[in-house]
Copies of this chain bind each other. A is one copy, B any other.
C-alpha cells in the first residue's frame, strides 16, 4: 500500500513537473533499500557496505533529495534553529550583533529565527514563549528589558539561553564592561583638564545604561571629584533628539560644564547640535563623548571620542557559547566580558 502510494505520487510528480517533496521513502524505493538504510547514510551512522552507500548516494543526488527539517525536528527534538531576540534590528548596534550571530550560526549549520522585541517587555516575554513553541534549540537574548523574576522563569523553559548585555544568575552572559568603559572616558576627560563633567544617561531599564552610570560615579569618586546631581540628566529617548534636549537643559543650567559624557553616539550628536546652538565650541569650551563607535561617530563634526566594542564578535561569541552549552552538558554557565576600547577623536582630544 505504502509503496503504491509512493509510486503513484512519483508518477504524478513526473507528469506535472511540480515537484512535491521527494521523501526518504522515494529514495529508499529507488535504491531498493529500506528507509532506515537511507537514514543511515544521511547521518553517517552505523556501518554500511560501500556498495549500498554509493547506490543510495547516487539516488539521493539524482532525485535531488533533501531531508525535511521539520520531520527531523519532530523525530529528534532538535531543530538546528536558534532564536535571536533583539530590542530592534533596525538599530545598527543590534544589526551588527545579528550579523555576527548569523555568521556563527550558519557556520555551524544552524539557522536564526529573528525576533524584534521593539523595546517592549511584554512583547519580549511573548517572543520567548513563541520560540519555545517553535522548539528552537536555544535562544540568544539581547539587552533584555524583562524584570528578573519573569526573565528567570522564561529562561528556565529553554534548554539553553545566552544573555547579551544583561546579567542573570544561572545563565551564560556575554557583556561589555560598560562600567569600565565609562570609567575610561572619565579618566580621559579628567586627564585632559576637564573640571566639571556632566552625564547624559540612558534609560533606567537598560542594563548598559545603569552600568555606565555606575562606572561614571565610581571613577569620579575615585578621582576625588564630588558628585553633583545637577550635572546629570536622563535622556527621554536615547537618540539625537533626546541628546539635544538633555544637552540643552544641562548646558543652560550649568554653563560651567566643560565635559559631557553621553550614553551613546546618537545622544552625543544631539549634544553637538545643542552646543552649536548655544555657541559653545567643541572641544574648546566643552568636550563631548559618545559610546558604541557607530558609523556616525567618525562622520559628524567634530568627530566623536567614543567607546568601541566589536559587536559582530559579541554576537558570534554569544552564539558559539550557546552551541557549546547545547553540546557539552557541562559548559553550563559562562560569563564573558568584552573590554571596550577608547577611540579618541576631535570632540574630546
Q: Which residues of A contact B (CB under 8 A)?
A: 19, 66-71, 73-74, 79, 81, 84, 88-92, 95-96, 98-99, 102-103, 106, 111-116, 118, 129-130, 132-135, 157, 269, 295-296, 299-301, 312
A90-B99, A95-B95 are known; give 16 further A-B pairs, CB within 8 A.
Answer: A19-B157, A69-B135, A70-B70, A70-B73, A70-B74, A89-B95, A95-B98, A102-B114, A103-B116, A111-B115, A112-B113, A112-B115, A269-B299, A295-B296, A296-B296, A301-B301
Q: Are B95 and A106 touching (Cβ within 8 A)?
A: no
Residue of B nearest to A71 (CB): B74
Residue of B nearest to A103 (CB): B116
Residue of B nearest to A106 (CB): B116
Kindly state the separation between the CA atoms of A79 and B134 in the bound complex, as whole angstroms: 9
Tell me which of A79, A88, A102 has the highest count of chain B C-beta atoms within 10 A of its own C-beta.
Answer: A102
Q: Given A113-B113, A114-B114, A134-B70, is A88 in contact with B99 using a C-beta cutoff of 8 Å?
A: yes
A14 to chain B, nearest CB (A): 15
A106: chain B residues at CB < 8 Å are 116
Residue of B nearest to A88 (CB): B99
The quantity of this chain's copies bound in the complex is 2
A98: chain B residues at CB < 8 Å are 89-90, 95, 114
A135: chain B residues at CB < 8 Å are 68-70
Kindly state the separation between the CA atoms of A98 and B135 in the bound complex, as whole angstroms: 23
Taking a contact as CB atoms closer than 8 A, the residue among B70, B118, B299 that contacts A300 in the complex is B299
A118: chain B residues at CB < 8 Å are 103
Kindly state the separation between the CA atoms of A129 and B65 in the bound complex, as whole angstroms: 11
Residue of B nearest to A19 (CB): B157
Kindly state the separation between the CA atoms of A107 and B93 in the bound complex, as whole angstroms: 24
Kindly state the separation between the CA atoms of A157 and B19 in the bound complex, as whole angstroms: 8
Q: Are A99 and B111 touching (Cβ within 8 A)?
A: no
A303 to chain B, nearest CB (A): 11
Q: Are B84 and A114 touching (Cβ within 8 A)?
A: yes
Kindly state the separation between the CA atoms of A88 and B98 in the bound complex, as whole angstroms: 10
Kindly state the separation between the CA atoms of A301 and B113 in the bound complex, as whole angstroms: 39
Kindly state the separation between the CA atoms of A66 and B128 in the bound complex, as whole angstroms: 13
Q: Are B66 and A70 touching (Cβ within 8 A)?
A: no
Taking a contact as CB atoms closer than 8 A, the residue among B70, B96, B296 that contacts A299 in the complex is B296
